[in-house]
């Protein structure tokens, strides 16, 4: 009878991954792929299609990372995580990097022992409501029923906002975006609050988007970005500079299509450094010289990733807004590559 028990032990032995404590880069290289934690399903940011392929803004960041490390954007596996499991999945070593539109906050950085490697989307919490209610400002929401996604910073912001303005409200906590949608469209809540990007996505896929309005107030800063475990600076550097490389690539006009011709013909020293034509920058972070070129080749530069997943031509239809480059009126600003 103990046979069945033993196969579990055997299966355990075969599934046990590498040690967490060692360098993440070495582990990742040893196993041949990056394990990337994403959301269980959020349109535009990460959701699986009918064949189980993951798509989305966060997913493409992971593909770029895989491109940088392995030269192969497919060398990445995705672990869907919930709001509750995401940080443990990262700190226990189950995933190597977490790209799950996670807000960078002090306590997450310091208390939860995580390292945010940058910001790939500047967001803010907003309110969406039914136009028929005639509400024009968040300050008119006294007594409203509000749907919130639980397990995020939004419920804390919401509590603070209403407390500061001395208003009352009825919170309706909800686990997933799909259920929040269902409740909001059935008017089981007057208002849906989440990051403005999420609101836009929800509004875009409504039967009648005109019947919904997003209120002007933004009640919080929600800088979303990928994060890694505390204590492995080398891996954090890689994750950070892949993100920066994508932004610099947009700045310099390097796209997935022209990355090869740019590498051979460029006169811009920074582009040459970035694409590994000049200098030994790849070796400094333990990667090949053309790591950045590979990252860009994966899914394109920041602008391409943005436009393909959540940009104006997609169902979600977000405009760049503050997420435009600093040269174009936004606040997206990558440190220089030198």
Among positions 123, 190, 250, 290, the unique one binding other proteins when judged by CB under 8 A: 190
Q: Which residues contact 60 (CB under 8 A, 6 or more apart)?
A: 298, 299, 305, 308, 309
Nearest residue (CB) to other proteins, 179 versus 268 = 179
Q: Which residues have C-beta within 8 Å of that of residue 236, sequence separation ≥ 6?
A: 115, 117, 228
Q: Which residues contact 210 (CB under 8 A, 6 or more apart)?
A: 131
Task: Decide whether 37 or 67 has the Cβ nearer to other proteins.
Answer: 37
By rule CB under 8 A, what string of x and - marks binding of each residue 43-62 to other proteins?
Answer: xx--xxxxxx----------
Nearest approach in angstroms of CB 275 to other proteins is 33
Q: What is d(CA 297, CA 208) in angstroms, rounded to the nearest whole number?
A: 38
Q: Does 172 bind other proteins (CB under 8 A)?
A: yes
Residue 267: CA count within 13 A, CB half-sphere: 0
Show the tokens assigned to 193.
């609050």
In this structure, are residues 256 and 124 in contact, taking their beta carbons and an 8 Å threshold?
A: no
Segment lying near other proteins (by CB under 8 A), choices 72-80, 282-290, 295-303, 325-333: 72-80
Q: Does 165 bind other proteins (CB under 8 A)?
A: no
- Strands 47-48 vs 97-103: parallel, antiparallel or unpaired: unpaired
Q: Which CB atom, from 174 or from 305, has the smaller least distance to other proteins?
A: 174
Q: Which residue, among 174, 126, 130, 184, has the nearest Cα to 148 in the 3D structure?
A: 174
Instruction: Tell me whether residue 87 or residue 241 sits nearer to other proteins (CB atom).
Output: 87
Is residue 145 at the binding interface for other proteins, with CB under 8 A as the rule? yes
The minimum distance between CB 280 and other proteins, in angstroms, equals 33
**Segment 82-141, which members bind other proteins (CB under 8 A)?**
82-85, 87-88, 91-94, 108, 111-113, 132-133, 141
Nearer to other proteins, 78 or 104 (CB): 78
């Amino acid at each position: 009878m103990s046979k069945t028990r033993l196969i579990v032990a055997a299966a355990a032995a075969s599934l046990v991954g590498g040690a967490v404590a060692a360098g993440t880069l070495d582990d990742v290289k040893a196993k041949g792929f990056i394990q990337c934690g994403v959301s269980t399903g959020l349109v535009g940011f990460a959701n699986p299609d009918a064949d189980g392929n993951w798509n989305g803004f966060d997913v493409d960041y992971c593909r770029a990372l895989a491109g940088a490390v392995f030269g192969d954007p497919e060398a990445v596996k995705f672990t869907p995580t919930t709001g509750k499991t995401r940080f443990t999945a990262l700190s226990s070593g189950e995933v190597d990097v977490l790209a799950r539109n996670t807000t960078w906050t002090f306590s997450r950085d310091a208390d939860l022992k995580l390292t945010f490697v940058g910001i790939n989307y500047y967001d803010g919490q907003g309110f969406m409501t039914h136009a028929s209610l005639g509400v024009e400002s968040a300050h008119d929401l006294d007594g409203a029923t509000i749907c919130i996604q639980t397990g995020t910073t939004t419920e804390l912001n919401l509590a603070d906002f209403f407390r500061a303005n001395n208003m009352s409200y009825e919170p309706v906590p909800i686990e997933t975006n799909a259920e929040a949608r269902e409740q909001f469209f059935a008017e089981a809540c007057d208002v849906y609050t989440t990051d403005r990007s999420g609101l836009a996505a929800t509004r875009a896929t409504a039967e009648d988007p005109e019947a919904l309005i997003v209120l002007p107030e933004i009640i919080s800063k929600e800088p979303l970005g990928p994060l890694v475990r505390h204590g492995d600076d080398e891996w954090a550097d890689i994750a950070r500079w892949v993100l920066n490389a994508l932004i610099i690539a947009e700045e310099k006009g390097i796209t997935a299509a022209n990355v090869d011709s740019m590498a051979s013909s460029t006169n811009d020293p920074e582009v040459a450094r970035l694409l590994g034509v000049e200098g030994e920058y790849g070796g400094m972070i333990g990667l090949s010289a053309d790591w950045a070129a590979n990252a860009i080749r994966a899914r394109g530069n920041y602008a391409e990733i943005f436009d393909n997943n959540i940009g104006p031509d997609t169902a979600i239809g977000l405009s760049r807004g503050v997420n435009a480059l600093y040269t174009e009126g936004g606040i997206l600003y990558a440190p220089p590559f030198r």
